[in-house]
A and B are shown apart, each in its own frame.
Chain A
Amino acid sequence: GDSVTQMEGPVTLSEEAFLTINCTYTATGYPSLFWYVQYPGEGLQLLLKATKADDKGSNKGFEATYRKETTSFHLEKGSVQVSDSAVYFCALSGSARQLTFGSGTQLTVLP
């Protein structure tokens, strides 16, 4: 079945540091890939997505590229802010059109 493996946390960075959160997946066919973010006390919200190989999703300074050859969708940001502190979930949507989530990565950014 479909699965998502996500870099374990927690991750603690200083403000303006570079962020990478690794995500790899296993799926049949050509899934769509997502990053969702969950701020404290809230539900999840879509951060970015990509629906085909080599697509780059981007939003709020975050980027991720759909790499079919390495089955990866790593999340990156060049300069994190305190307000980026949250839990980040990688997810895929396969042929069943349901989301399979990774286990989540807690990010804390210190001033």
Chain B
Amino acid sequence: EADIYQTPRYLVIGTGKKITLECSQTMGHDKMYWYQQDPGMELHLIHYSYGVNSTEKGDLSSESTVSRIRTEHFPLTLESARPSHTSQYLCASSENGQRGETQYFGPGTRLLVL
């Protein structure tokens, strides 16, 4: 069973607020990811990290930012939330460099911006 955690699970917040979505894993994985999942279920990679102090933007442009100060922690921040940010956000992690490596997903944070 994967040990990857996300908090909060649900968040309702007003426009303009700053929010941070937390993601932690206890597996010692180097690689971590943030995906945005739209109501049509499709997944879009918005950020990833290959290790401490390494962060990259994904395929989908996002107004969010991430940091990776510790191996186990990969928070995502929205400086000023807008209704267009309403979505589900999934965090994942994997070991580095293995062919066929499995990504392990957290339970997700469902965000609603009013």
Contact = CB atoms under 8 A, between A and B. Distances in A.
Contacts of B45: 98-99
Contacts of A103: 40-42
B30 to A, nearest CB: 11
The SS class assigned to the B binding surface is loop
Given A32-B100, A49-B102, A42 B107 contact: yes
Interface size class of B (residues with CB under 8 A): 20 to 34
- The residue in B41, B42, B92, B99 that gathers the most chain A C-beta atoms within 10 A of its C-beta is B41
Given A42-B107, A43-B90, A45-B105, A101 B100 contact: no
Contact of A42 (B33, B99, B100, B108): B108
Contact of A43 (B41, B48, B97, B106): B106
A89 B21 CA distance: 24
A66 B23 CA distance: 33
Given A98-B48, A101-B42, A93 B105 contact: no
- 4 A-B pairs with the lowest CB-CB distances in the bound complex, closest first: A43-B105, A51-B100, A104-B41, A32-B100
